[in-house]
Structure 1
């Protein structure tokens, strides 16, 4: 029996020692929910995973990435479902689920695609920026192997290959990854999670003296955290650094302003070595 919210099948429950009578009692007691015939979810299962269980197929793409704890840029939305040849859709057409049909092997309804397959689905579904963010998250969390990267390269086009070449494992958030991806065309040296004397670890160091902080956590709005940020910025200035701060909305939705501010700051500082 699973201990976290997920999809389970009758076969899996039987292998765990749950009899038919015990399963019916669990459904009646609400300790397990029937999604469709032979497929169940636990009370802790999130709405997106429940929708996948009811739809048919398996969790896929962005929904699978979030389920594994990987960073994503897009907010939670329609559930993404991985479908293979011969599988049946149980939802009515127009249910809102996003289907991903590919040549992967069929499997248990509760199975999650491999991380390389999830990345491939994300690239095809929502594009290279989301792909790059999830890829760097997978690298950071040691959730993709060299074999997995080779699998992706065999299925890549020029854009995906550029992302695979640029990706590293040192970013600490999706915003840091997106910042570096969007700045790549300027040939700048962008280092993430760098330790600066008297300042601490910063999100990004561009060139030699520009610090960029991507404040994606709501706690930055609190008075104590705001004071701490101001002290850090003052120490940075004391040592000859300039600090720019951007929140999630600016990096994701107002990139032209963020880009212009970074390039303007670099001109003020006298440029940056590529």
Structure 2
């Protein structure tokens, strides 16, 4: 994720309007304080790499790239640069170009301004599909980055399936993995509760029925022996009170969902989620 405090990219017209002379611009380029991305477009030294790639391509960051930049939780299944060219933009060839372009309408205050969060979500829906849209939507709601007016704008510009996802979404999802698992289990109509307090254990990600605990562990929080030990202690305490625990990591939830689903349903079929 790029810092919003890093220097921006600007056109010569924008620089000139701010008082930059051609002579001064040449000096800054010669000194390495600013570099030319293409004709008439310049980035200051230290500018965000994602932003400079997008500007070299002809636009600003979009879709998953913009979502990461904004600090939203995204699946790491696509790391190619996504670039917003507006409805009438123009793309440019540049070294190492792997850019995915987005041509939807919309304007910003400056030539390389970021799309709004509602527009980012709509771009993700069109480009990446309903699941990734849903997990980023819940991340935006959790971080209070989606206003009521923004949600209304989004609802009016998506189809029925996405409106169902909006209605199903919450503002208290603890992680994108939890959002993803809840979205994938919704069709099973299971008695799923989230972020429940369990005696002697504390807060758990999911409680299905009366006593099936499901935990989804993101790598940053559960790597290492100390975290592994704490997880085992939690599971042992849960067992002592009659709960059973299933624990899955990022790779299983994202890349091996059939195994995760079969494990959960196997417990359900045997009635192990009931008292």
TM-score of the pair, normalised by structure 1: 0.88
After the TM superposition, which of the residue ranges 25-34 and 173-182 deviates more from structure 2?
Answer: 25-34
Task: Look up the match of 1:184.
Answer: 186
Task: Look up the match of 2:98.
Answer: 96
Task: Look up the match of 1:73.
Answer: 75
Poorly superposed stretches of 4+, deviation over 6 Å: none
Is 1:220 matched up with 2:208?
Answer: no
Deviation at 1:8, TM superposition (A): 3.6
Matched positions, count:
272
For 2:57 and 2:274, locate their aligned partners in 1 and report how far apart those are by CA, in whole Å.
52
Question: Cα 1:82–1:212, aligned 2, differ >3 Å: closer, same or farther?
Answer: same
Task: Look up the match of 1:152.
Answer: 154
Is 1:108 matched up with 2:110?
Answer: yes
The two structures, once aligned, show a CA RMSD in angstroms of 2.6
For 2:274 and 2:156, locate their aligned partners in 1 and report how far apart those are by CA, in whole Å.
35
Question: Cα 1:107–1:98, aligned 2, differ >3 Å: closer, same or farther?
Answer: farther
Task: Look up the match of 1:7.
Answer: 9
Task: Look up the match of 2:34.
Answer: 32
Structure 1 residue runs of 5 or longer lacking an equivalent are: none
After the TM superposition, which of the residue ranges 136-145 and 234-243 deviates more from structure 2?
Answer: 234-243
Check conservation: 1:188, 1:272, Cα contact below 8 A. Answer: no
Task: Look up the match of 2:259.
Answer: 257
After the TM superposition, which of the residue ranges 154-163 and 204-213 deviates more from structure 2?
Answer: 204-213
Check conservation: 2:212, 2:273, Cα contact below 8 A. Answer: no
Deviation at 1:193, TM superposition (A): 2.7
Which deviations, in whole Å up to 9, do the C-alpha atoms of 1:102-125 show, x marking residues without a partner?
A: 122365233111111111111111
Task: Look up the match of 1:57.
Answer: 59
Which deviations, in whole Å up to 9, do the C-alpha atoms of 1:93-147 show, x marking residues without a partner?
A: 9932111111223652331111111111111111000000100000000000111
TM-score of the pair, normalised by structure 2: 0.88
